[in-house]
Amino acid sequence: MLLAAALCASCQTTPKDIPVWDFSKDGSADPSESPYHSDDPSSTDPSKDDDGTRKEIPAYTDMVLVYGYSPHRSPYNWTEEYMRDYVSWTDPATGKSHWLFDAFLCLEFMDCGGHNGNKTFITGYKYNGNYLESANKSDWESLADYYFQDYVNVGAIDRAVGDAAKTLGQPSHKRQIVVGIPEPIEYRYNNYGQNQSGGTTYWGEIDGKTMDFSKSKDRLTAVKWYIDTVIKLFNARNYQNVELGGFYLTAERSDFVDDILIDISRYLQPMKYSFNWIPYFHAYGYTNWKQYGFTYAFMQPNYFFSEEITYDRLTTACQDVLENGMGMEIEFDGKVLDTSEYKWGYRLRDYMKAARDYEVWDNCKLVYYQGSWAVRWLKYSTSEIDRELFNDFCKFVVERPLRDDN
């Protein structure tokens, strides 16, 4: 399918409709805001050899983004009660239950009001009008520790899957956990290259050596250290129903990290972990995702967040996704609710319509940005319109032809 229009050189810079988020303003861009502001698995695993070595990179079709770690988010920890609504869905028309999302992306892009002052895990984020300080080694370590616990966060996903399996039976494959890798930001303060200050040796040490993030090799060393840390923490928990399937690069454009991407991919590939990327609409380098070594890449249409962006954005995004062999992100947050002041449920329906019309729904992997707990907000809304949208959305997920265990 041909593109509606050729890509222009200006697409390689930050689009004007993609703001540098400042979460201290009206909260409309903050996925953590309330919606009214804006027992045992099978003893054999066909994906592994007898010695437990993974044969291939795990596959999934529908991955949901779950933000967590920054204390400004509520609830701070994901509980089993919350995760049940992301693991399975019961069709009210038939009473039949289905597995819902088969992968969970654990990520965070900032730490505000919490652990060690206001920090960012990705270039260019603001809080209270100021660009955030780049996260250091201690921040990266705290983030990894946050995810891997027994009763909350990944532990809650594991327990929720185990509970659902008592009714649904074991899924055809374990639910996948994908973990976000913080961006190794060159400077302690870095506003998209316009304000670089605080030096490049702020991050910390590995094996007694101070990392200098002006050097590609040190930034790569930090990323490898984080990957190793995550693998160690995950394996120590001995989860029964989830598998560490891969890693996600939090940077949503490639120009600050393109010097280390191939080497990250080469590090992950022998261990059979997927390498995932979700660039924003026409972000720098998005057409080069295969050359960078990503296993899967997903385009953000960024249509949901402004009514100034017309439906044509979705048609272009679908065409680009198909032409470039990518997956796509379905996006919504609390403004989707009919009980909110925005009533933007129609924009989520636009995503579902475009994905079906352009056969993205049939053929492509999807990820779901759902603005903190927007799926739950729809499910438990007092509005029949919201609950209908919740069920239509879940049906959109579970009926996709790519799925094998719904």
Give per-residue pLDDT as tens, 212-267. Answer: 999 999 999 999 999 999 999 999 999 999 999 999 999 999 998 999 999 999 99
Q: What is the DSSP string of 146-183?
A: HHB-SSSBHHHHHHHHHHHHHHH---SSPEEEEEEEPP
- Convert the pLDDT of each residue in 111-120 to its tens digit: 987 767 799 9
CA 78, CA 230: separation in Å to the nearest integer? 18
Given this model, what pLDDT does residue 41 score? Answer: 31
- Convert the pLDDT of each residue in 29-47 to its tens digit: 333 333 333 333 333 344 5
Helix axes 154-168, 216-237, angle to 10 degrees: 50
pTM: 0.89
Given this model, what pLDDT does residue 237 score? Answer: 96
Q: Residue 199, exposed/middle/buried by CB under 10 A (0-12, 13-18, 19+)?
A: middle
CA 301, CA 298: separation in Å to the nearest integer? 9
C-alpha pair distances (Å), 403 with each of 98, 236, 293, 394: 11, 30, 25, 13
The number of CA neighbours under 13 Å toward the Cβ of 357 is: 14
Of residues 387, 381, 302, 382, the one with CA closest to residue 347: 302
Q: Judge whether 104 lies within some domain.
A: yes
Q: Residue 333, exposed/middle/buried by CB under 10 A (0-12, 13-18, 19+)?
A: buried
Q: Judge whether 282 lies within some domain.
A: yes
CA 262, CA 251: separation in Å to the nearest integer? 15
Q: Judge whether 375 lies within some domain.
A: yes
Q: Which domain holds residue 109?
A: 60-398
Q: Judge whether 13 lies within some domain.
A: no
Strands (E), 332-377: 366-369
CA 1, CA 386: separation in Å to the nearest integer? 34
Task: Please answer whether residues 32 and 72 qualify as being in contact, where contact means their C-beta atoms are separated by less than 8 angstroms.
Answer: yes
Q: Judge whether 46 lies within some domain.
A: no
Q: Judge whether 304 lies within some domain.
A: yes
CATH of the domain at 134: 3.20.20.70
If one counts the domains in the chain, the total is 1
Q: Judge whether 43 lies within some domain.
A: no
**Could you count the other beta carbons within 10 Å of the beta carbon of residue 48?**
14
**Could you count the other beta carbons within 10 Å of the beta carbon of residue 391?**
17
- Convert the pLDDT of each residue in 62-100 to its tens digit: 999 999 999 989 999 999 999 999 999 999 999 999 999
Q: Judge whether 337 lies within some domain.
A: yes
Q: Residue for token digits 């609830």? A: 75
